[in-house]
A and B are shown apart, each in its own frame.
Chain A
């Protein structure tokens, strides 16, 4: 039986679990910043440190295996002091003014600073402004907000396996990056999937098309299925005032486990394109004119009926759509089979 003492309570754990995993299984929250489960990325930021009896220093819960008989304290005063100190360092080493930040309300650093009561930290004297990468139409990278957690690097190399944000150190060596390192993207390899943006815990990486469209708490999230390829990724549509302002992947569910590609994540503008069809159109003398539904459907029904009466059901055909829903495909073939009276029904993409 594997068990340990967590905050004075005896808990069991599975062999191979980390202290973090064991604690989470039992509903005890330990804060994390760099930990990215999907890529087994951990041990960089030390926000998750805990006090383990007998250890000569605080240990990162995300990277420390749970041990039989361990006595662990997740929120001792020593732990809280350490976390506070780490947070102060992070704030001092960046440009963290939430008032001007798109991630306001959806930022791990902001949440932790609030939770741990960190106050009035000034920017470090001699802080050198870091670059802002505005080179692509989809992603904005402001390294002044970067907390050097490496999650974007792990997301790019180990989740999407695009290898476009180089590791500063050997592959996943669980140590903090070298001084001066920034997670800069190599645009010869980048395919703009935006996995890095989704992984970033702060406002350093942002969806450019969503900038200024909505504050995080003003949106509603609606879960749906991607309209593009047959993978059927699960996505959140972030909606404000009847507009889709952003799309993100639904974490931890199949088939995509939070991942999206460039089309799924950034290909939503067509929904609100100005040239969407908004009324039925009837062609007269070679040109379209707008019409109401009653007129248009009446014309469609009568013309199809006339053709059927004159030439038989086999003179009609219907093509259904690989982009319509199951329900709509079902109705389309039912209409052709029972209304037209023929099996001349097919769809365009035969794979």
Chain B
């Protein structure tokens, strides 16, 4: 998100899901779309099979979308920047750049061009392992398209260079004038249903609702008037920084609502140790998760089917959540608990319904100002929607970027934070499986769905499994500098030699016991995607069988 905001002035998806059907060319990079966003993937696939779109998949793993692709670029994990620079090198060299668009709507092109000049397809082949000819082919396909869309997810952001990865994608789209029109743009696909909304609502340490910076005095004054309370002028701590601060005793009390960082966050030993050191931990959730089990007080919450409200989807569409059943026992909706707690703390909150809260959101957040519960009964709206008669905004950056001019960023390839070496010779990447969601607190309790993928399996290339003499289904020990787990092997060509893949959903084989908490310096996203591991045969296989 941070990367796109720097390049364009907004971190959100620039275009909309339904437009994917009509793109001439689609680049899907670092996104196992059919697994993580299955219904969105149907729009991509329909575009290919029914409307003749050309699909370029860029992924180290043979993801299912490769079946529909015209070109599959299989880069070494962590070399995306070099690859994108290589595509841009070719586009410029072959005069496929949209010079009018660049001149009129962008800045800093020369600086970027100079860096990219050094990325000939041959050099990029050396860095990424992708054949030079394939790079040229993909560059021509994307460069010649009238309208082309880029889609990405965590495979791009969960690196120490995640912000730079995203800026590189913005470079590529600006270079070819792919902004501000239908079926173009750079589109981050949000993993959880309301990540977009959590960010929009100011669930971030540096911005208040509507991405209004806390360090801006006028912004603070506005919110102090609205909330009738003084606000801290300093940027707060990110979750990862707060965990470190908890570990060394600077943070003493934590309130976690509806998250399970013990399983979901990188370097889970570190997270657990940090939470253990706290004087006081409160967890509010629908189940007694691994994180809730560590709490001093656990508050029972209602789930989505038991409350009213809104979610904002990945394309900025604000949609209603409606109560269908009653919560169990004494469980209450999060908004009710928060309101009650605020009142015990002496804050005097008077919210009687989610709608009443939404009315305040409209005042606090200019991009939501035109959205009302009444309108959402009759229409579907994407923010920005500043006024009551505004139709909403399916496409951002029409005619002009949110920041004014699109900013080209010169970016050099850098190696991932942790490289393989003799002690840890293999590269681990993490991700999702179709049948599980996040830390399985929900899907793990669903008959049928859970049965489809009840246990963690580590994907391993046949060449590696043959060398190590392990067979499909065998338990192995996987260790990194931070921890070790035991996990079943699935032998498959979907990963390349030297690379293993473990889904992060499973607490009993927690991939995040291995991952690095090394952060992207800007977005503060841990490097879940690449770390060095060793895989060892266990002396007595099948103990856990």
Contact = CB atoms under 8 A, between A and B. Distances in A.
Interface string B284-326: 0111100010011111110111110111111101111111111
B272 interface: no
A196 B453 CA distance: 22
Given A227-B304, A230-B195, A276-B287, A270 B298 contact: no
A340 B364 CA distance: 20
Nearest to B236: A343
Interface in A288-336: 288, 292-293, 296-301, 303-305, 307-308, 311, 313-336
Nearest to B251: A317
A124 B258 CA distance: 58
B200 to A, nearest CB: 7
Interface residues of A, number: 113
A259 interface: yes
A255 interface: yes
Contact of B253 (A255, A275, A304, A348): A304
A224 B322 contact: yes
Interface stretch (B87-95, B186-194, B423-431): B186-194
Interface in B310-365: 310-315, 317-326, 328-335, 337-342, 344-345, 347, 349, 351, 354, 357-358, 360-361, 364
* Most chain A beta-carbon contacts within 10 A, residue among B16, B200, B206, B437: B437
A136 to B, nearest CB: 8
A138 interface: yes
Nearest to A265: B449
Contact of B380 (A254, A281, A334, A350): A254
Contacts of A273: 287, 445
B347 A339 contact: yes
A192 B446 CA distance: 14
A100 to B, nearest CB: 23
Contacts of B445: 269-270, 273, 275
B184 to A, nearest CB: 18
Given A161-B68, A325-B354, A330 B238 contact: no
B255 A336 contact: yes
B443 interface: yes
A282 interface: yes
A269 B357 CA distance: 29
Interface string B177-214: 00000000000111111111111111111101100001
B468 interface: no
B283 to A, nearest CB: 9
A61 B329 CA distance: 54
Contacts of A18: none
B260 to A, nearest CB: 8
Contacts of A346: 203-205, 236-239, 242
Interface in B140-154: 153-154
A235 to B, nearest CB: 10
A344 interface: yes
A347 B195 contact: yes
A103 to B, nearest CB: 20
B253 A315 contact: yes
A263 interface: yes
Given A231-B39, A231-B40, A333 B209 contact: yes
A234 B250 contact: no
Interface string B1-23: 10000000000000011100000
A332 B253 contact: no
Contacts of A316: 251-255
A282 B194 contact: no
Contacts of A351: 1, 153-154, 157-158, 188, 190-191, 195, 525
A262 B452 contact: yes
Contacts of A319: 239, 242, 254-257, 259, 261
A349 B192 contact: yes
Given A230-B190, A351-B190, A329 B229 contact: no
Contacts of B221: none
Contacts of A330: 201-202, 209, 357, 360-361, 364
Interface range for B? 35 or more
A293 B330 contact: yes
A325 B310 contact: yes
Given A161-B45, A225-B320, A296-B297, A338 B347 contact: yes
Contact of B325 (A229, A243, A262): A243
Contacts of A321: 194, 198, 257-259, 334
A109 interface: no
Given A138-B449, A276-B331, A327 B358 contact: yes
A209 interface: yes
Interface in B418-449: 434-435, 437, 441-449
B324 A329 contact: no
Contacts of B239: 319, 346-348
A317 B287 CA distance: 22
B449 A262 contact: yes
A300 B443 contact: no
A292 B448 CA distance: 35
A220 B305 CA distance: 13
B324 A350 contact: no
Interface string A238-259: 0100111000000001111101
Given A325-B311, A326-B309, A267 B198 contact: no
A261 B275 CA distance: 35
A269 B313 contact: no
Contacts of B237: 317, 344, 346
Contacts of B452: 137, 192, 262
A267 B192 contact: no
A327 B253 contact: no
A322 B285 contact: no
B544 interface: no
B287 A231 contact: no
In this complex, which of B16, B250, B313, B524 has the most chain A Cβ atoms within 10 angstroms of its Cβ? Answer: B313
B354 A327 contact: yes
Interface string A210-235: 00000000001011111111111110
B309 A331 contact: no
A307 B341 contact: no
B236 A230 contact: no
8 contacts: A192-B449, A225-B193, A230-B195, A270-B286, A273-B287, A331-B339, A331-B349, A343-B205
What 8 pairs between A and B have smallest CB-CB spacing? A278-B329, A232-B313, A325-B309, A343-B236, A230-B190, A321-B258, A261-B38, A137-B448
Interface of A: 136-138, 158-161, 191-193, 208-209, 220, 222-234, 237, 239, 242-244, 253-257, 259-264, 266-273, 275-283, 288, 292-293, 296-301, 303-305, 307-308, 311, 313-351
Given A325-B309, A338-B227, 9 more contacts: A227-B193, A263-B437, A278-B328, A283-B297, A315-B250, A315-B252, A323-B193, A324-B198, A333-B201
